[in-house]
Chain A
Amino acid sequence: MSDWQRWQAGLIAAIHDPALPDTAYGADGLAVYRNNYRVGLIDTVKSLYPVIAQLVGDDFLTGLAREYVRRTPSASGNLHRYGEGFGNFVDGFEPAADLPYLGGVARLEWALHRAYYAVDATQFSPATLAAIAPESWGELCLAFQPACALVRSAHWPIVAIWQAHRPGGAPSRVDLGSGGENALVYRQPDLEAGLLPLSDADAAFIAALMGGATLETATDAALTLDADFDLQPLLVTLLQTGCLAA
């Protein structure tokens, strides 16, 4: 590495870590970049998680975001990519241990954020399915739109919590003992991000498809959870909502 390359790497390191000495770069100038970096990322994280803000208040979210940013260096020049691991961070962050559902709600909000910006793709046409003999459907592998993401929580009603704490509305009570919930996040026809609540069997089916399984294997995965799993209405929903990609 040459001198100028070392100087660049050193400046990035000094911006990321305020504990490093500032003598090599000049204290006043470095302070500007350190402040820009920290405040910019904290504001970015806070803007991504409006439902978390409703749940814990602005001050607590600011504290969470500050700690997340301290531990998580930016890894992209596109600021809209920052903040993905916030939900996992919250899961392991001791001061948030009293709110064990927060991480799942944060993962739901991240998926909605990405659904908003995700690349457009051509929708799967139901005519494609009609052109295939029904006895061969079991061998089909279905692809999802890039905007689609599956978010699952084994223990917490993340969809109900999210719905009850959307910004702008009055928060309502949620029974935390009502069990885990799953959601398929997708892009609605109006291009806003939306979500479909899913049963555990539905979620297992979609997880298998997203993992590259055939329709038959995915159906088997759902049936092991729920012997009454009915493929048809779910498939119709996926087609009608445009979740499947060509």
Chain B
Amino acid sequence: MTTTLPAASGIGLRAPHYRQVLDSRPAIGWLEVHSENFFDGGLPLAMLRRVAADYPLSLHGVGLGLGSASRPDPTHLASLKRLVDAIEPAAVSEHLAFNHAGQRYANDLLPIPYTRAALDTIAAHVAEAQDAIGRPLLLENLSSYLEYPANELTEAEFLAELVSRTGCGLLLDVNNLYVNQQNLGTDVDAFLAALPAETIGEYHLAGYSQRGTLLIDTHSRPVHDAVWALYDRVLAHFGPRPTLIEWDIDIPPLDTLLGEAAKAQRRLDADATRGDAR
């Protein structure tokens, strides 16, 4: 079991809404936060303990860079372990991305080479992280704007290999998949077919923006219609899962986020009804 989140919609909880969520306790299935914002103690951690007392909570890491050729930073892993131990979240997720070479970092989610050689190294990093925190991770597919020129596997095949080697679960970001389809020509049918359904523990939805000919995964807008349509396909293919609305730039009022989550919830409910009929 990689997650105990409910198969309902949730929202990403960000600093502008901490106070309002704690005071008004909105009706929402679950909440997700970025792990690094709660390293290592003090007011942020105290606030998160209060949130965790009232909602199922997911910790979503953006800075471990498990896809780096260099090993994960032991300090970062220790901070994550401390946080996981303190909060006992319903899910812990990271990205299949790299962010450092030696001690030099880019605080971003960079695409990794999907090769057999990289797979050996990265599977070891995933295993190291899971050992450190004492539980399995959900690994998220990436949106990317360039590719390693000599890939031997697709991203989905690489994720499936990591699942079988490390016992990790998957977090399917529907917006990322759509962005990659548009930017890189990713074959969506082949992508969905390659993922082991039972290991998918969570979906993400967000809004992209456009820059020149590229779609950029900015998490700055409502979910686009084309992404809702792809979400419907994903639901038909894999069935309902905990589904998150992410919004990180130009963060709107909480009610806007809750409205997006309600849209996702209606689709989850409709899919569950279809599932009953099946």
Residues of A within 8 A of B (CB): 1-5, 7-9, 11-13, 15-16, 25-26, 28-30, 32-33, 36-37, 40-41, 73-80, 82, 115-120, 146-147, 187, 191-192
Contact = CB atoms under 8 A, between A and B. Distances in A.
Nearest to B184: A29
B220 interface: no
Contacts of B40: 117-120, 146
A191 B104 contact: no
If over half of A's interface residues share one DSSP class (helix, strand or loop), that class is named, otherwise mixed; here it is: helix
Interface string B200-221: 0000000000011110100000
Given A4-B117, A32-B214, A78 B106 contact: no
A4 B43 contact: no
Nearest to B216: A32
A245 B65 CA distance: 33
Interface stretch (B5-13, B18-26, B126-134, B145-153): B145-153
Given A8-B101, A73-B105, 18 more contacts: A1-B69, A4-B115, A7-B148, A8-B113, A15-B106, A28-B214, A32-B145, A33-B106, A37-B106, A37-B107, A74-B104, A76-B73, A76-B75, A78-B79, A116-B43, A117-B39, A118-B41, A147-B42
Contacts of B101: 5, 8-9, 12-13
A74 B39 CA distance: 17
Contacts of A120: 40-42, 45
Contacts of B36: 77-80
B39 A78 contact: yes
Given A4-B118, A80-B36, A82-B107, A116 B76 contact: no
A22 to B, nearest CB: 10
Interface of B: 36-37, 39-46, 63-65, 68-69, 73, 75-76, 79, 82, 98-108, 110, 112-113, 115, 117-118, 144-146, 148, 150, 211-214, 216
B107 A77 contact: yes
B113 A187 contact: no
Given A77-B63, A78-B63, A29 B214 contact: yes
Contacts of B213: 28
Those 7 A-B pairs whose CB atoms lie nearest each other, nearest first: A29-B146, A77-B63, A29-B145, A120-B41, A4-B113, A119-B40, A9-B101
Question: Which of B45, B75, B146 neighbours the largest number of chain A CB atoms within 10 Å of its CB?
Answer: B146
B146 A25 contact: yes
Contacts of A36: 106, 108
B45 to A, nearest CB: 7
B107 A117 contact: no
A1 B118 CA distance: 12
B64 A119 contact: no
B104 to A, nearest CB: 5
Contacts of B110: 8, 11-12, 33
Question: Which of A8, A13, A116, A120 neighbours the largest number of chain B CB atoms within 10 Å of its CB?
Answer: A8
A4 B216 contact: no
Nearest to A16: B104
Contacts of B148: 4, 7
A157 B152 CA distance: 61
A9 B63 contact: no
Contact of B42 (A1, A41, A117): A117
A11 B106 CA distance: 9
B108 A119 contact: no
A15 to B, nearest CB: 5
A26 B148 CA distance: 10
Contact of A77 (B42, B46, B64, B150): B64
Contacts of A119: 40-41, 82
A2 B39 contact: no
